[in-house]
Amino acid sequence: MFGHLTQRSLALAVAVGVSCLGATLSAQTDKTAPFVVPVPGYVVPQAGEHPRLLFRKADLPALKKKAETEDGKKIIAQLKVLLGGGDAMPTKFCQDKPVDSVNEGALSKQPEGTFTLSHGAGFGLLYQLTGDKKYADLAKQCVDKIFEGQVDRDSRYNWTTPGTGFRTAFVLQSIALAYDLCYDAWPADYRKSVVERVQKNEWSTIKGKKYSLESLASGGGYPPGSNHYGAYIFGPAITALAFAGDPGADDARLAKVLATSEASLVKLFREGFGNMGWFAEGTSCGRIAANNGVIPMIQSLKIAGGKDYITSRPDARYTFLHLMHEIVSSGKDPQIAHRGDYGDNILYKRQLISHLGDFTQGMGAVKPEESEAVAWIYDKFVEASPKKIYNAEVYPHLAVYAFVNWPAKTRDPDEVLPHVMVDDIHGYYVARNQWQDGDDVVMTTLLKRGPSGYKSGPVRSGTMVWGFGEKLNFGGLSGKTAHYRAAADGSMELADEKGNALVVDYSKASGAPALFAVFGDVKAGSGKKAVVTPLTIGDKTVTILTLSSDEQPKPVAEGATITIGKQTLTVENGHLKLGVFGK
């Protein structure tokens, strides 16, 4: 019915290359490992069987129990806030005309609870948890509003003239979730009308470009290296998964649409994202492609379609998980080392649908133990307040995903996540010393190779070092990797084919919590907790950066060796070598 893979035996291959120390999540992915494998014990949903997109009926008793837990109660309370009260239609509706460019200033002035396209999904979850059909009726009214042309609080998103084809993903996701959650309570003729209306519609954007389910599923003419691409392919996929087998559904057509979306998804992994989550157009563009596309798509493909893109190899889940390696605490807002357009270092500065919900949706697109580590990171770095909103801001469907996906317990990331992450498609390396507090040290470097993005905007290469409140640019490598090794504590040696080299030392052998060194006279400002020292050994200028809240160690050059405390640096085969490598 869904165009499933046949239930043949597929070997689960090792998804990541792990060093002998168990330290690095390296991109030496087994190229023979399939992107998708069958879900063990999966049972195909019967015609008219709902819900199926986020959970199945067998999961409902456990979810009702979850609603009585402390986390469950808080998430439902936040959902009701986002719905404008939760027991009636919202009173605030955006009056703006459809646009293709957002006015973020005006958008920020709209009160919490203003109607969004995903209000129907929010009421749908309340129906599932309570069995009260008034919530299903409210969801129906919300879907009717969508079909009438009511714009989202962000008027780029609407049924009649979306800003671009990209915006149709959220439109279709909102309709599909409401339909799926309220199926049993809606009249049969209404359910059928929703199916038929979505299938026959041709979306015409503000600029007059037209899209069908088929053209959306193939990416709408955009290449995989565009932030638009992921959203284009998600809308048709969730539509096909929601409607297949139901009255009014053209099953043959929907199966083809789903197959096209899935083929596009694999193309996205090969030509847009790297194998460990770096995106061709940079940080925020990758979040757009993930939040509006990959992350919710692979969750529903697993639950409704029996297709697991999560466990076989890391490509899909690291479109989200890479953020967990990059995130730092600033004492106020969580930050990431940003490169590229459409954002900056502050993770949740922009209150737009494409820049929200990384955690709440991402927890459903990773392994269970990773989800627990993600919840730990959220509590530590994003929202430590007892009144936390669980990453569910502005849009009710984010509270729905939070309720379904949030794990019952947390787990120390050190038990789950490695300290070095490598995307060898794009040459993106992240080395982290710990997940603990504002003194965590994170190094990211981008060699900038592999598939290029669709946009011409700059994606900065080079090395960024963040730690102890300092943010420094520190040298740069590019092109192919000539030398690489990593240790369990996050220490690393790296060199490119052009003779540039970088070392990361978290062993504390130098007397500092973190030490970095590169070839070249690098301009990086010293500070109270960051000291930069250039030294010469042989014909090489080696610039050293130490980070410490205590007294800084003093590097000394003698002959062919630099000594810093009990640590040494030498040049071997054109790259920098640490004498003490790892704890």
Q: Could you report the per-residue pLDDT of 99-150, keeping only the tens digit for each?
A: 999 888 888 888 999 999 999 999 999 999 999 999 999 999 999 999 999 9
Host H or E run for residue 192: helix 188-200
Domain annotation covers residue 18: no
Residues 431 and 553 in one domain: yes
Name the domain boundary from 360, 378, 413: 413
Output the pLDDT for position 476. Answer: 86
Q: Which of 413, 443, 468 corresponds to the end of one domain? A: 413
pLDDT digits (tens, 9 = 90+) for 379-396: 999 998 778 999 999 999
Looking at the structure, tell me whether residues 118 and 83 fall in a common domain.
yes
Cβ neighbour number for residue 149 with a 10 Å cutoff: 11
Q: Say which CATH number the domain at 144 has.
A: 1.50.10.100
Q: Are strands 307-308 and 530-537 parallel, antiparallel or unpaired?
A: unpaired
Inside any domain, residue 500: yes
Q: Does 404 lie in the same domain as 460? A: no
Tell whether the model's pLDDT for residue 565 goes beyond 50: yes
pLDDT tens for 67-111 read 999 999 999 999 999 999 999 999 999 999 999 998 888 888 889
The domain of 430 spans 419-578
Q: Would you say residue 2 lies in a domain?
A: no
Residues 398 and 423 in one domain: no
User: What mean pLDDT comes out for the span 270-281?
Assistant: 96
* Residue 392 burial class via C-beta count within 10 angstroms: exposed 0-12, middle 13-18, buried 19 and up: buried
User: Is 477 found in the same domain as 361?
Assistant: no
Extended strands (E) in 145-197: none
Tens of pLDDT, residues 287-316? 999 999 999 999 999 999 999 999 999 999
- Span 401-452, pLDDT tens digits: 999 999 999 999 999 999 999 999 999 999 999 999 989 999 999 999 999 8
CA angle 366, 234, 264 (to 5 degrees): 90
Q: Do 239 and 173 share a structural domain?
A: yes
> Does the CA dihedral 559-562-565-566 come out positive or negative?
negative
Query: Does 249 map to a domain?
Result: yes
Say if 12 falls within a structural domain: no
Both 399 and 450 in a single domain? Answer: no
Is 199 found in the same domain as 130? yes
Quote the CA–CA distance of 179 and 173 in Å, as a whole number: 10
Nearest-angstrom CA–CA distance, 417 and 375:
13
Is 13 a domain residue?
A: no
Q: Does residue 14 belong to any structural domain of this protein?
A: no
The verdict on residue 574 lying in a domain is: yes
Whether 425 and 349 share a structural domain: no
- Within this chain, do residues 349 and 450 fall inside the same structural domain, yes or no? no
Of 413, 442, 477, the residue that ends a domain is: 413
Q: Are residues 286 and 352 in the same domain?
A: yes
Same domain as 505, residue 395? no
Q: What is the pTM of this model?
A: 0.93
22 pLDDT exceeds 80?
A: no
Q: Which strands make up the sheet holding 514-519, listed edge to edge?
A: 481-486, 492-496, 501-505, 514-519, 540-547, 530-537
Indicate the number of domains in the chain.
2
